[in-house]
Amino acid sequence: MKGIDSRARRVYDIINIKQELSNTETHLVRKIMLKTIPLGGLGEIGLNMMVLEYDQYILVIDSGLMFPEDYMPGIDVVIPDFHYLRENKDKVKSIIVTHGHEDHIGAMPFFLKEFDVPVYGTRFTIALLKEKLREHNLIENSNLQKVKAGDISEFGPFTVEYISVTHSIVDGVGLAIHTPEGLIIHSGDFKTDQTPVDGQFTDLNRLAHFGDHGVLALFSDSTNVEKEGFSLSERTVKHTLEGLFQSCKGRLIAAVFSSNITRIQQIINLAAKYRRKVAFSGKSMETNVRIARDEGFIQIPEGTRIDEENIESLPDHEVTVITTGSQGEPLSSLTRMAQNRHKNIRIKEGDTIIFSSRFIPGNEKAITHIINSLYRKGADVIYEKVSDIHSSGHAYKEELKLLINLVKPKYFVPIHGEYRHLRKHAQLAVETGIPSENIRLIENGNTLCFQGGLTVTGEQVRTGRVLVDGKGVGDVGELVLRDRRKLSGDGVVIALLAVDEQTGDVIYGPDIVTRGFTFEVQNAPILDEAKTLVSEILAEIENPIHMDWSEVGSDIKRKLKRFFFKAIERSPLILPIIIPV
């Protein structure tokens, strides 16, 4: 053990003890395998959740959400399907959260409602999680364990060391997971900024140490595999920001991810340097700044901070606002400013608006709409496409190669990304010298098993996306979404009639009511034709007294749907309403 540091000595002592215990068992052929099962985050961006299972123990890594896509009208958030964990609930013993972004901790309240297990995370990650659990009234019964980079935790057959990594949120970690089958490295979300302004480096020395002692498999973040070279250093962003502070004569309004504490601190420091006051705008911004300040990750010089309502009392050149809304979110503070709906701040000539974040795919239209609105109000707008105003938190190609070369894994598994990202990352691993037969390209639900230094593909487990709508979790399915899409696209047609419960005679209607239908159709003869069609259906009923009116409704729905599509090539939602009186 000479030459190995104290952390490694402790790990290897634990491993040796476990190995000795294992050797006292029978010498029958081992049937127990190490299973790794992604329940989210592979083949998609967000929804990150990974399961490690050995014998009667399951360790979960992250439980994140994703925000709804365009085809999910009315949905608030999307979380992973916990079906496999429910089936093996007795095995689920603990969960680690690698950092505090929503795509890694956003589903934790839903997870902890079902699984009463301890949660391990770093100080800032746990602080963010506490706030989230408090909103769900779960904080009292939660078992939250704080760890830091370099700490070691034991989870049944797993021994985990937390590795410092640089990311776009403070206090993130990767994981070195010692298992009975060998060492697994889970990168978490990372980059390799050599000049981080907050002093948190990706611990390349520690990763190289593990590489020298043998790594069974590397599970590595694939998000930015399409980006050439190295990611931009946060220090470069600092220089760009400082240039704006030097040249701007009016108010500076910076839209930043509320979780990007390092960027927020840079703006605070520059504001203090150039004798500006700082106001924070947006609920999540105020919350995260408060948490970061309480935990010691943000320092605000005395006399620098002001409240929003006091902005108008200061000269423009003394004002800086740090706000939410970098993605054009409809209810965000910056969007309300752009639409003149913010109660304290109105955009005006001479303002400089900084979008200090990247355009997340899918948000481009919303962001450009806000940018155009800001320009119309006379503001100048700075964003990633025209300035080095943002640095990604995910590693580019050369950094991904560096990690593979340091860790030197036997097997390589790309994680975190859409399928094209996973595929390109696998190709990148081949370029670094990993044999193609040792690269495992898996997606959600694919079980990858390790036994005796080899890998096999296990069962396909059930995974999916659970939709959260208000307080409803999983009660909105594809049929409901399809109806919502029809309502938003082609509107609704209601066929209304009342029938005598005793005789079956029609005593009102049929009437056709439309909402969201084309304006030209509202008073057109086509609606009279639809009424006639319904009357014909009713006239064909031979024995109305004993009629099942639900069957009549289905017949009306089917024939009206065909009629409208043939007449105007539209498919409105058809709602037959038959009222027995």
Residue with token string 């700082």: 278
**136/203 same-domain check:** yes
**238/225 same-domain check:** no
Residue with token string 């962003």: 237
Please check whether residue 514 lies inside any domain of the structure.
Answer: yes
Domain assignment of residue 280, given as a range: 234-382
pLDDT exceeds 50 at position 212: yes
Our answer to whether residue 221 is catalytic in this structure is yes
Residue that is last in its domain, among 350, 382, 414 = 382
pLDDT exceeds 60 at position 92: yes
Alpha-helix residue ranges (DSSP H) falling in 324-459: 333-338, 364-376, 397-407, 419-431
Query: DSSP secondary-structure letter at 173?
Result: E
14-18, 19-23, 234-238, 557-561: which range is least confident on average?
19-23
306-311: list long-range contacts, CB under 8 Å, 24+ apart.
306/277, 306/278, 306/279, 307/279, 308/279, 308/280, 308/281, 308/344, 308/345, 309/344, 310/279, 311/251, 311/279, 311/344, 311/345
For residue 381, give both structure tokens. Answer: 């707008």
Average pLDDT of span 450-466: 90
142-151, 353-362, 372-381: which range is least confident on average?
353-362
**199/50 same-domain check:** yes
Which residue from 200, 234, 218 is spatially nearest to 403, judged by alpha carbons?
A: 218
- Going by C-beta distance under 8 Å and a sequence separation of 6 or more, which residues neighbour residue 284? 258, 324
Higher pLDDT, 296 or 502: 296
pLDDT value, residue 522: 53
pLDDT exceeds 70 at position 139: yes
**454/523 same-domain check:** no
pLDDT grade for 508, boundaries at 50, 70 and 90: confident
pLDDT grade for 25, boundaries at 50, 70 and 90: very low
**Cα separation of 290 and 301, whole Å?**
14
**Cα separation of 47 and 65, whole Å?**
4
How many beta carbons lie within 10 A of that of residue 1, not counting itself?
Answer: 8
CATH number at residue 304: 3.40.50.10710
pLDDT, tens only, 536-563: 888 877 776 767 778 888 888 888 888 8
**Cα separation of 51 and 123, whole Å?**
23
**Sheet harboring 152-155: ordered strands across?**
152-155, 158-164, 173-179, 182-186, 215-221, 409-415
pLDDT exceeds 50 at position 74: yes
pLDDT value, residue 12: 55
pLDDT value, residue 499: 84
pLDDT exceeds 60 at position 233: yes
**216/243 same-domain check:** no
pLDDT value, residue 24: 40
Output the CA–CA distances (angstroms, integers) from residue 179 to 19, 55, 98, 453, 531, in the order listed: 10, 11, 18, 12, 70
Higher pLDDT, 189 or 363: 189
CATH number at residue 569: 3.10.20.580
With a pLDDT cut of 70, the percent of the chain lying above it is: 88
Q: How many domains does the chain have?
A: 3
Please check whether residue 460 lies inside any domain of the structure.
Answer: yes
Residue that is last in its domain, among 382, 411, 441 = 382
Q: Using H for helix, E for strand and C for coil, what is the string for 71-132?
A: CCCCCCEEEECCHHHHHCHHHEEEEECCCCCHHHHCCHHHHHHHCCCCEEEEHHHHHHHHHH
Average pLDDT of span 297-310: 95
Output the CA–CA distances (angstroms, integers) from residue 307 to 52, 280, 318, 333, 340, in the order listed: 47, 7, 13, 14, 19
Average pLDDT of span 108-135: 96
pLDDT grade for 564, boundaries at 50, 70 and 90: confident
Please check whether residue 19 lies inside any domain of the structure.
Answer: no
pLDDT value, residue 3: 45
**50/163 same-domain check:** yes
**374/407 same-domain check:** no
pLDDT value, residue 28: 32
**Cα separation of 79 and 377, whole Å?**
39
**225/140 same-domain check:** yes
pLDDT exceeds 80 at position 272: yes
User: Among 62, 189, 193, 221, which one carries the catalytic annotation?
Assistant: 221
123-132, 264-273, 411-420, 555-564: which range is least confident on average?
555-564
pLDDT value, residue 166: 96
pLDDT value, residue 386: 66
Please check whether residue 387 lies inside any domain of the structure.
Answer: no
pTM for this predicted structure: 0.82
pLDDT exceeds 90 at position 369: yes
**Cα separation of 551 and 127, whole Å?**
56
Higher pLDDT, 395 or 456: 395
**142/209 same-domain check:** yes
**198/61 same-domain check:** yes
User: Among 99, 167, 390, 394, which one carries the catalytic annotation?
Assistant: 394
Please check whether residue 109 lies inside any domain of the structure.
Answer: yes
pLDDT value, residue 71: 67
**89/188 same-domain check:** yes
Residue that is last in its domain, among 469, 498, 520 = 469
CA terminus-to-terminus distance, the chain: 88
Return the top range by mean pLDDT from 6-15, 72-81, 121-130, 520-529: 121-130
Please check whether residue 483 lies inside any domain of the structure.
Answer: no
Please check whether residue 175 lies inside any domain of the structure.
Answer: yes
**182/45 same-domain check:** yes
**Cα separation of 449 and 32, whole Å?**
10
Please check whether residue 430 lies inside any domain of the structure.
Answer: yes
Our answer to whether residue 548 is catalytic in this structure is no
CATH number at residue 413: 3.60.15.10
pLDDT exceeds 90 at position 574: no
